[in-house]
Structures are given as C-alpha cells and as structure tokens.
Amino acid sequence: MEQYVLIPLLPLVAFVINILLGKSILRDKAHWPSVLAVLGSFVLAVMTFAEVAGGKVINQDIYSWIVSGSFKASVGFLIDPLSAIMLIVVTSISLLVHIYSIGYMHGDKGYYRFFAYLSLFTFSMLMLVLANNLLQLYFGWEAVGLCSYFLIGYYFDKKSASDAGKKAFIVNRFGDFGFGLGVIMIFLNLGSIHYADIFGKIGMLQGQTIGMFGYNVDLITLIALLLFCGAVGKSAQFPLHVWLPDAMEGPTPVSALIHAATMVTAGVFMVARFNPVFSLSPVAMGVVAITGAVTSLFAATIALVQKDIKRIIAYSTVSQLGYMFLACGVGAYGAGVFHLFTHAYFKALLFLGAGSVMHAMSGELDIYKMGGLKKYMPVTYWTFLIASLSIAGIPGLAGFFSKDEILWLAYNGGTVGRIVWVIGTVVAALTAFYSFRIIFLAFHGKFRGTHEQEHHLHESPKAMTIPLMLLAVGAISAGWLGISETLGGGNFIGHFFQPVLGHPHVHAGEDEELMVMGISIACAVGGILVSWIFYVLKPEIPKNLAANFKGIYTVLWNKYYFDELYDAIIVRPTMWISSSILIPVTDGTIIEGIVNGVPKAIAAFGERLRKLQTGSVQNYALIMAIGLFILLSLVMFSGVK
C-alpha cells in the first residue's frame, strides 16, 4: 500500500476509535487519536507534496467500488499539483484546529464527540480532494455536508444551533441537487465518471445542444452550470450564501475548519478541478465570474455594519470565496486556488483569534462591548492583526500576492474581466475597512463590557495561542510561494499549477501590472485609514452616517433581508403545505388509514372466528367426529386418495 492511502485513512481510524471508545474509555483524552492521526496525515501530505513538486503525478484506482454494466466506479486517488496543495491546506489547518480545540473545548461534555466529528470532517474533505472520479468526489461532497451538520449543530440542545445545522444542510441540498444532475449528465453523455475520461472526451460535446423547455441549450454550458450549482451551495455564494453566517453557531474551531479548509473551499476546488469543462463554455465562465463578483461585493457590504465578530468574519469568507470564483470565472484558476491557499491561513487565524477573544470574554460576540483587549491578550492581538493585514492585502503578506494575482488576471480578462476587476478593487477597500473595524473596536480604545468580564480577561492557554502563532506564520508567508514575476519573484505556484489549471493569456505589460497593484494597495491602505478615522479618531462619524442613511444601514444590518425573503417564499409555503396538506391529508388520512385499516379488518374477521371456539369439549368432539366421518366417507365412496 502506498503511503498516500493513509492520508485520508488515518483520520477515519481516529473517528472510529473516538466514536466507539471515546465516551467510556478515552473521555478527556479523546483528542489523542484525532490529533495524532491528523498529524500523521499532515506529515504524509507534506511528503506527497514534495513528490508532486518533483513532477510526479499519481492517478491510481485503489478499490473497485461499484461495477454495473458499463458503469464503473472505483475508489481512486489523483494527486496532481491541485490536490497536493489542497492536501497541505486541509491537513495543516485541520491539525492546528485540532490542537486549538484541546484548549477551547476543554471540559465540554461532548469532548470525544467533537474530536470524532472533526476527524470525520477531515477524512471527508480529504476523500473529496483526492478523488479521481466524480462519484468519490460526490461522496466527499455529501460527507462534508453531513459533518458540517453535525458540528454546526454540535450544541444541539440550543435551538439556534440545531436550526443553523439544519439550515446548512438544507441550503446545501439545493446546490447539491444541481450538482447531482450535473454528475448524471456527464455520465449519460460521456459514459464515464473518471476525470481522465471526462477531460479527454469533453471536447467531443462541443457544439452539441440539448432540448430543454423548448429551448436548445448548449450541453457543455448546461453541465458546467449544474456543477456550478453545487459549488454555489457548498461555497456559500449568492444566492445560497445564507447558511454560512449562521454556521458560526457551532463551536469556533468548527467555524475555522469550515471557513478555511474543509467545507467552503470544496466548491472552488471543484470548479478548478473541472476547468477543462468550464473553459469550453464562455457563458458558464461569465456566470461564475459575475456570481463571484456580485457575492464578494454583496457580502463585503453586509460585513461593514455587523456587530458580531464571528458574523463579520463569516461574511468576509463569503466575500473572499466570491473573489476565488471571480478568478476562476476569468480563467485564472491558478490564482483562485492560490487565494484559497492563502485565505485558508488568515481566515483560520481570524476565526481562531475570534474564538480566543470569546474565550476571554465569556462568550461575548459583540465588538461594541469589547475594546482595549490588546493589553490583556497580546498574542491574540498580534496574530489577529497579522491576519487582518493579510486579508486587507498589505504588501508582503500572504493575502496581497494572491489577491493581486486575481485582480491582475481579471484586469486582463476582457470586458467581463474589467467589470469584475472594478468590483474586486472596491471589495478590496471594503475588506480592509471592515477587517480593521474589528481591530479598532475590539482591541483598541477602552473596554466597554461589564466589570465582571473585565475582571476575567486573560490570554488563552498555550494549546490555543501556539496554533495562532503557527497560523500567523502561514498568514505571512503562504503568499511567498506565488510572488509575481513583475515583483522579481518566481511565481512558483503559478508554474506549479500550469499543467493542471493552465494560465490565462496576459496582454498588458508590466507597467499596467504595477498600476493595478498600486490601485489595490491604495484601496487597502485607504480602507484601513478610513476605518481608523471612523473608529479611533472620530467615533461619531459612523453613528452620524448610520443615522443619515438609515435606509441603507437597515438593509445592510438585515443582510439585504435574504433570510426573511427565503422564509417568506420557501420556508413558510413548505411549512404550510406540511401542516395543512401533508399532515392531515397524506399522513392523517391516507397513510394512517392504511396503517390502522389493515389491523382493524383483521380484528373484525377474528371477531367472527372466535365464535367457533365454544369452550365445550362435547362440541369439539362432535366436530371431530363429523370431520372424521366426512373424510372417511370421501375416502371410501369417492375414491379420493
């Protein structure tokens, strides 16, 4: 057995150990199997990455899963540059989250359950990333959805948490429905679900159309859009973004895992993986780019006014995922995945930092009730600051290089590209603004919480601060893998991805690249400056703005009323159908009619039959005698044998 098989297998083993023995034997030592397993996976992932960096590509079927007629599905691994980088992201973030959880979840009564699910989550994501065929991808895809449900609803006795879990699961179902149809379309038209076959044959479908609702739809566009449906759900893009901000009802390490490594990145990964399909359909590419751009702008504006620290970061994830799709949509898959890679580190850091703040604040989430935390929790402050600088796109840090690569390639991406470039640049400024809003409100100024909270303020334990520091290293240096050639770097990651993801053609020269870069730096610095003016220098400005533009403020505060909209057009009608049709008619009349009717009929029949049972021995004897007489007569006179 090759070593890479163990990468997903180890977390699965840890899951089994924890779920079977965690409650009775391991108890507060339940982190050991999980942490060790993920550590093992991480080490193996690094080794595998080194092999792939040396030019090796592994594509091997391990196990024949389903064989039925011409349909063949196997469990197989494809490790190329794309999945190698994902391996690093997933295992490293997961490892740090596991370690952080030792401190964060200490003393929780579901400790073993938490670690079991974390490991299962990691296993699912690794299966998804390593898949060499669509069915295995789909397996991982659904499994991460299931694990997210388990973990978001981890505090299942809390109504809002269990609701958020259900919401995540159900909203994802909408996207996955499209994704499932896409998988079926691919199999029907190409006769295989293996990546190698699909990418080899997809060109044959070019120009083919399929009749749908009386229109002729381009087949490849249809397939690409169906697949993208899944990505929209999983990666929380507009209009299926509603589950992600609620997902923070789960414990904070889970948010970090979901937002950085094991869940929302699956959509971007899938689109990048299927770049040969997407690239053949300009329409689908346009849809991806526009969806990404719209989502990033829309989520960033919501993040401007929210007060809940985790909610702001959650919207920032939605916004950054929009960035990644924007990149994929203009053909810059490599840049998109590069941003995924850097984003994983600073976003995990932001979430774990927020968790550390919550830990100190006894669960308080409102940044307006914090303030001045800098002096109480220096490690959290500095790491959070690094993450914010990184996400804002300050030169030298990870976020800068990946964001800049995206903006530069978008700038070169034709008309659609120019439009999304403008949006992306605006979003860069907004991102810098709201990220530093957290810094200024939570960590600077005076403490605004209760005295009791102030008394309890403390730096988090080592198990929590060490992962923060390690992630901070990632948030600084992850981008150095892809320093643009214009800046004198080698753009290692661009060349690394080239065989799998290609590289879009760039027309414009170095001057323009420097100009694009300059604009985005100016936006980032401007955003931070405005944030500083608003929340440090003149705190009355944001209040005045909110009062003067009350309409806009209310819309943003209520997240564009999407939850209310979905509640009105989907949740309520569904509830109405359930309570007024399904429960009384279908369930009450038809199903209960059958279920109760059958035993009633049998009972009525039995009621008649009981009359035979008289209890009198003479009667039985008489019946026996008559029966015997009839039988004997039959035998003797009619010759029946």
Partner 1 sequence: MVPLNWYIGLSAIIFTIGAVGFLIRRNILIMLISIELMLNSVNISLVAFSHYLQDIRGQVLVLFTITVAAAEAAIGLAIVVSMFKNKAVLHTDEIMEMKG
Residues near partner 1, by CB under 8 A: 609-618, 621-622, 625
Tell me how far, at minimum, the Cβ of 599 lies from partner 1, in Å: 19
Closer CB to partner 1, 541 or 635, in the complex: 635
Closer CB to partner 1, 565 or 621, in the complex: 621
- Asked if 246 and 168 count as a contact pair (C-beta separation under 8 A), the reply is yes
Tell me how far, at minimum, the Cβ of 633 lies from partner 1, in Å: 16
Helix (H, G, I), strand (E, B) or coil at 282: helix
Closer CB to partner 1, 54 or 615, in the complex: 615
> How far is Cα 86 from Cα 94, in angstroms, rounded to an integer?
12
Task: Provide CB contacts within 8 A for 534, sequence distance 6+.
Answer: 437, 541, 542
Burial class for 295, CB neighbours closer than 10 Å (0-12, 13-18, 19+): buried
Reading the block at residue 496, the tokens are 């690394």
End-to-end CA distance of the chain: 70
Residue 610 burial (CB count, 10 A): 8
How does DSSP assign 42-57, residue by residue? HHHHHHHHHHHHTT--
Tell me how far, at minimum, the Cβ of 615 lies from partner 1, in Å: 3
> How far is Cα 43 from Cα 30, in angstroms, rounded to an integer?
21
Tell me how far, at minimum, the Cβ of 22 lies from partner 1, in Å: 55
Closer CB to partner 1, 204 or 625, in the complex: 625
Decide the pairing of beta strands 71-79 and 209-212. Answer: unpaired
Tell me how far, at minimum, the Cβ of 608 lies from partner 1, in Å: 10
Closer CB to partner 1, 1 or 612, in the complex: 612
Closer CB to partner 1, 212 or 609, in the complex: 609
Tell me how far, at minimum, the Cβ of 631 lies from partner 1, in Å: 15
> How far is Cα 1 from Cα 577, in angstroms, rounded to an integer?
53
117-136: b (≥16 Cβ within 10 Å) or e: bbbbbbbbbbbbbbbbbbbb
Closer CB to partner 1, 581 or 621, in the complex: 621
Helix (H, G, I), strand (E, B) or coil at 161: helix
Helix (H, G, I), strand (E, B) or coil at 194: strand
Closer CB to partner 1, 568 or 631, in the complex: 631
Tell me how far, at minimum, the Cβ of 173 lies from partner 1, in Å: 54
> How far is Cα 45 from Cα 39, in angstroms, rounded to an integer?
10
Closer CB to partner 1, 541 or 602, in the complex: 602
Closer CB to partner 1, 547 or 612, in the complex: 612
Tell me how far, at minimum, the Cβ of 636 lies from partner 1, in Å: 15
How does DSSP assign 418-445, residue by residue? HHHHHHHHHHHHHHHHHHHHHIIIIISS
> How far is Cα 609 from Cα 601, in angstroms, rounded to an integer?
13
Residue recorded with tokens 């690394």: 496
CA dist 172 → 126, 202, 237, 240, 316 (Å) = 19, 27, 11, 8, 19
Residue 617 burial (CB count, 10 A): 8
> How far is Cα 430 from Cα 531, in angstroms, rounded to an integer?
10
Helix (H, G, I), strand (E, B) or coil at 173: helix
Closer CB to partner 1, 67 or 626, in the complex: 626
Tell me how far, at minimum, the Cβ of 602 lies from partner 1, in Å: 15
Closer CB to partner 1, 613 or 638, in the complex: 613
Tell me how far, at minimum, the Cβ of 618 lies from partner 1, in Å: 6
Reading the block at residue 368, the tokens are 């307006």
Closer CB to partner 1, 68 or 613, in the complex: 613
Helix (H, G, I), strand (E, B) or coil at 64: strand
> How far is Cα 135 from Cα 155, in angstroms, rounded to an integer?
32
Tell me how far, at minimum, the Cβ of 621 lies from partner 1, in Å: 6
Closer CB to partner 1, 568 or 622, in the complex: 622
> How far is Cα 182 from Cα 227, in angstroms, rounded to an integer?
5
Tell me how far, at minimum, the Cβ of 612 lies from partner 1, in Å: 7
- Asked if 171 and 233 count as a contact pair (C-beta separation under 8 A), the reply is yes
Query: Considering only CA atoms, which of 109, 122, 158, 124 is closest in space to residue 33?
Result: 122
Helix (H, G, I), strand (E, B) or coil at 212: strand
Reading the block at residue 434, the tokens are 């709201």
> How far is Cα 272 from Cα 381, in angstroms, rounded to an integer?
35
Closer CB to partner 1, 509 or 615, in the complex: 615
Tell me how far, at minimum, the Cβ of 634 lies from partner 1, in Å: 19
Decide the pairing of beta strands 209-212 and 215-218. Answer: antiparallel
Tell me how far, at minimum, the Cβ of 27 lies from partner 1, in Å: 58
Tell me how far, at minimum, the Cβ of 625 lies from partner 1, in Å: 6
> How far is Cα 33 from Cα 573, in angstroms, rounded to an integer?
46
- Asked if 250 and 150 count as a contact pair (C-beta separation under 8 A), the reply is no
Angle between helices 265-273 and 81-104 (to 10 degrees): 170
Closer CB to partner 1, 215 or 605, in the complex: 605
Tell me how far, at minimum, the Cβ of 624 lies from partner 1, in Å: 10
